[in-house]
């Protein structure tokens, strides 16, 4: 599709990658941080998505929206997630209607499907389980809002485990934990997962943006297409930065119970994320993968970046 594109969360990890991928198009970057916007070559919109936008004059000509902004974390107060993920999405939908946009692409998360068990080859018809985290709960609520706006030709993407240069979450969290202590080895190292390089997610977003009417109202799973053992992911990432990786065999149920208690205490006191969360532990315990056939068939998208190449791109700037 032609026309101006508004990217929410444009100074975040995915948003920054999208701005680069769309350098030859007319893009407006949204962020709540005016200082970060001033450093960008694209026009910027300083807007806290939890607050109504009174003036849309600067957004004239916007025909599509890539809604990437979100609060993504394994732990936190539900009201914070609702504000950032549900209320903000509702305001983006209202804005899209005011502007008369032709397509809203919403970035969700496969965490809406997470359950503490092995889940392999999940497709988009899989019923949503009870939410495992507040993040998962609010992303599911945001999906429902988007699907209830068929007039915006919405497309929902659920990219799994984004990593790449500029990532501050997935691999950095893993490496920080590996530096400070042995990593937990549950169920004999049975856990596995499919990660996705951020450049592949960007091409999926553009494919959704440009897709025909057959994509409207659809949800698509996005991943690197290969499920890897978590032990292998950790080993290969640690090797890139010369971190001595250690494992410690641990029983899963009591460790999860202890993490649950730590989370409850944190919510009642300081509110800071505990050193260990239930979700973080569960990623080391269960086998998970997504079926990406629907995205290949309807969007014409498929991942191009292997984990080896993804690690090269992630760590190439490091000494």
The domain that contains 245 carries what CATH number? 3.40.50.720
Element (H, E) at 105: strand 103-107
Q: Tens digit of pLDDT per residue, the chain (319 long)?
A: 568 999 999 999 999 999 999 999 999 999 998 988 988 988 899 999 988 887 888 899 999 999 999 999 999 999 999 999 999 999 999 999 999 999 999 999 999 999 999 999 999 999 999 999 999 999 999 999 999 999 999 999 999 999 999 998 899 999 999 999 999 999 999 999 999 999 999 999 999 999 999 999 999 999 999 999 999 999 999 999 999 999 999 999 999 999 999 999 999 888 889 988 999 999 999 999 999 999 999 999 999 999 999 999 999 855 4
Contacts of residue 270, defined as CB under 8 A and 6 or more positions apart, other chains included, come to none
H or E element: which one contains 94?
helix 88-99
Q: What is the DSSP letter of 239?
A: H
The predicted pLDDT at position 317 comes to: 54
Q: Is 75 helix (H, G, I), strand (E, B) or coil?
A: coil
- At 184, give phi and psi (nearest 5°): -75, 135
Distance, in Å, from the CA atom of 105 to the CA atom of 256, rounded to the nearest integer, reads: 35
- Tokens 């068929």 identify what position? 150
- CA dist 106 and 99 (Å) reads 17
At residue 57, the pLDDT reads: 87
Residue 319: its pLDDT value, please?
Answer: 45
The packing angle between helices 13-21 and 198-210, to 10°, is 60
Domain residue limits at 236: 4-315
Q: Which two tokens stand for residue 155?
A: 């497309």
Q: How far is 33 from 81, CA to CA, in rounded Å? A: 19
Question: How far is 217 from 159, CA to CA, in rounded Å?
Answer: 17
Report the 10 Å Cβ neighbour count for 56.
12
Find the largest Cα–Cα distance for the chain.
Answer: 59
| Euclidean distance between CA atoms 221 and 18, whole angstroms | 18
Looking at the 3D structure of the chain, how many domains does it have?
Answer: 1
């Amino acid at each position: 599709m032609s026309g101006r594109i508004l990217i929410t969360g444009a100074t975040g990890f995915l948003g920054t990658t999208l701005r680069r991928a769309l350098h030859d198009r007319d893009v407006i970057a949204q962020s709540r941080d005016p200082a970060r916007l001033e450093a960008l070559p694209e026009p910027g919109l300083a807007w806290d998505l939890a607050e109504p936008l009174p003036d849309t004059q600067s957004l004239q000509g916007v025909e599509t929206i890539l809604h990437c902004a979100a609060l993504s974390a394994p732990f936190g107060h539900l009201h914070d997630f609702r504000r950032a993920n549900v209320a903000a999405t509702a305001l983006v939908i209202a804005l899209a209607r005011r502007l008369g946009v032709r397509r809203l692409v919403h970035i969700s998360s496969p965490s809406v499907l997470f359950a503490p068990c092995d889940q392999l080859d999940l497709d988009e018809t899989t019923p949503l389980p009870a939410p495992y985290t507040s993040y998962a709960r609010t992303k599911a609520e945001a999906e429902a809002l988007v699907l209830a706006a068929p007039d915006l030709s919405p497309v929902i993407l659920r990219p799994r485990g984004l990593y790449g240069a500029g990532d501050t979450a997935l691999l950095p969290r893993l490496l920080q934990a590996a530096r400070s202590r042995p990593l937990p080895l549950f169920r004999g190292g049975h856990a596995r997962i499919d990660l996705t390089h951020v450049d592949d997610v960007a091409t999926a977003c553009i494919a959704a943006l440009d897709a025909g009417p057959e994509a409207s109202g659809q949800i698509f799973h996005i991943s690197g297409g290969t499920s890897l053992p978590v032990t292998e992911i950790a080993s290969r990432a640690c090797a890139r930065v010369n971190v001595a990786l250690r494992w410690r065999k641990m029983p899963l149920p009591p460790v999860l119970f202890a993490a649950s208690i730590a989370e409850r205490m944190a919510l009642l006191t300081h509110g800071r994320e505990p050193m260990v969360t239930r979700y973080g532990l569960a990623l080391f315990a269960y086998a998970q993968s997504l079926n990406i056939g629907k995205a290949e068939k309807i969007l014409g998208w498929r991942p191009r970046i292997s984990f080896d190449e993804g690690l090269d791109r992630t760590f190439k700037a490091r000494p």
